[in-house]
Amino acid sequence: MRRSFYYLSLTTVILFFIASCGSAPCPECPDATSMEPTPEQLDFLGITNADHLSAASKRALLWPEEARSNEWFLQYKVHDLKGDLAYEEGVVRRDPSAVLKIDGLYYVWYTRSTGPTQGFGGDIATEKVFPWDRCDIWYATSEDGWTWKEEGLAVARGEKGAFDDRSVFTVECLYHDGKYYLTYQTVGGDYVVRVKNQVGLAYSDSPRGPWTKLEEPILSPADNGVWKGETQNRFLVEKKGDFDSHKVHDPCLLAYNGKFYLYYKGEQMGEEITFGGRQIRHGVAIADNPLGPYVKSKYNPISNSGHEICVWHHDGGIASLITTDGFEKNTIQWSPDGINFEIKSAIPGAPHAIGLVRDNNDGKDPISIMSWGLTHQYKNSDYQFIRRFEGERKERHTAKGVKAE
């Protein structure tokens, strides 16, 4: 594995030195004289006195040469869509899937529900707990990626008693070998605080369906945590269990190295709040067939942070945008094997729940796939809508009126 930017990244190195060294000066930190920094390094970092280095300067001297590169660094703009995916009062549209271009049309699948959210204080048996409660999966098409036509229902909730009878949501789509595969979150029964989410799958020969749903989930939370008492409080536990002992969320299926890698977000029973926010991590489950069975990697969790899954192929490995939660949030990471990820850049203001346009991946530029795609935004706590993002590599920072060379 490349020893690139993971242990030497700004975020990770900061954490290491904060934890082990305290405030500067730092006797336990590496000796700068043993590093033998080059004149170019010192000039780049603005260090003119190498005999007196703060903890920050010592961390900076650990950065590899590629830390100067902006190859993985980009910025975003977000725009409103036209047509049926424009904001509509009373309708929730969120969590867009990857965008696939098929016979001249762009396709996207997404979570859809109607009406406001009452939360856990309402009548759980009849009302909505979250905006993604009581949802179905719908799809839309577009000729230009701006104006969208809502085509209708793709995958509905299951019949009463099924593992997905309460809600199906947060969908992703994979096209492989002539078939389309939708992976999505599910909730069955009453949506109580301690309910365990699972992952379902449906497949079709056409992006317009009909879709055949598997009768059982393809992924479930670990079954090794123990709740404390009967109160519906997800923070009261006797034993936390694995990083995904409560919920498995945000599935994204990729064909990789002759197998199928199902990336997902795990939520732990008794989840903590750390100095990076919520304690959220990602995992992966692997199968020989897209229909499963899926076996969780023994190396899980494969991230220290994150929220919605956003992964793509690059340079023989897998890249991942990590957002929202944890001390490595707002970074792009890359793995040579789909499991061991290294931090490549820190990204300001990345959109949430990104739906990548898979056709935009040129195989050379690591962020070409980020040129445009879909995201969702909260209009308010009840309603969300889908928007378009555009990304570009940040090359220069110049003041107004200054001509950039």
What are the residues whose beta carbons fall under 8 Å from the beta carbon of 183, sequence distance 6 or more?
A: 171, 172, 174, 199, 200, 201, 218, 251, 252, 253, 262
What percentage of the chain carries pLDDT values higher than 70?
Answer: 91
Tell me, what's the pLDDT at 311?
98
Element (H, E) at 77: strand 74-79
Tell me, what's the pLDDT at 54?
93
What tokens does 184 get? 């999505």
**Residue 251: what residue type?**
P
What are the residues whose beta carbons fall under 8 Å from the beta carbon of 157, sequence distance 6 or more?
A: 134, 135, 136, 164, 165, 166, 167, 168
Position 15 pLDDT exceeds 70: no
- Assign 392 a pLDDT band (cuts: 50, 70, 90): very high
Task: Please list the helix, strand and coil fractions of the chain in percent, rounded to the nearest 5, in that order.
Answer: 10, 35, 55
pLDDT, tens only, 267-305: 999 999 999 999 999 999 999 999 999 999 999 999 999
Tell me, what's the pLDDT at 35?
61
- Assign 63 a pLDDT band (cuts: 50, 70, 90): confident
Element (H, E) at 16: helix 10-21
Tell me, what's the pLDDT at 226?
97
Instruction: Determine the length of the chain.
Output: 405
pLDDT, tens only, 136-174: 999 999 999 999 999 999 999 999 999 999 999 999 999
What percentage of the chain carries pLDDT values higher than 90?
Answer: 81
Give CA–CA dist 195/380, Å, rounded.
25
DSSP for 192-260, written as a single string: -TTPPPEEEEEEESSTT-PPEEPSS-SB---S--EE-SSSS-TT-EEE--STTSSEEEEEEEEEETTEE
Q: What is this structure's pTM?
A: 0.90
Domain ranges of the chain: 10-68, 74-393
Tell me, what's the pLDDT at 404?
65
Check the CA dihedral 164-170-176-179 and report its sign: positive
Q: Mean pLDDT score of the chain, rounded to an integer?
A: 91
Position 198 pLDDT exceeds 80: yes
Tell me, what's the pLDDT at 25?
43
Averaged pLDDT, 351-380: 96
287 burial class (0-12, 13-18, 19+ CB within 10 angstroms)? middle
Tell me, what's the pLDDT at 34?
59
pLDDT, tens only, 236-259: 999 999 999 999 999 999 999 999
Q: How many CA atoms lie within 13 A of 45 on its CB side?
A: 23
Give CA–CA dist 80/270, Å, rounded.
38
Give CA–CA dist 5/11, Å, rounded.
10
pLDDT, tens only, 206-223: 999 999 999 999 999 999
- Assign 403 a pLDDT band (cuts: 50, 70, 90): confident
- Per-residue DSSP letter, 6: T
Q: Is the Cβ–Cβ distance between 191 and 118 less than 8 Å?
A: no
Give CA–CA dist 172/217, Å, rounded.
15
CATH 3.30.1330.40 corresponds to the domain 74-393 = no
Q: SS3 for 392?
A: strand
Give CA–CA dist 99/97, Å, rounded.
6
Position 19 pLDDT exceeds 60: no
Give CA–CA dist 132/139, Å, rounded.
16
Tell me, what's the pLDDT at 67?
78
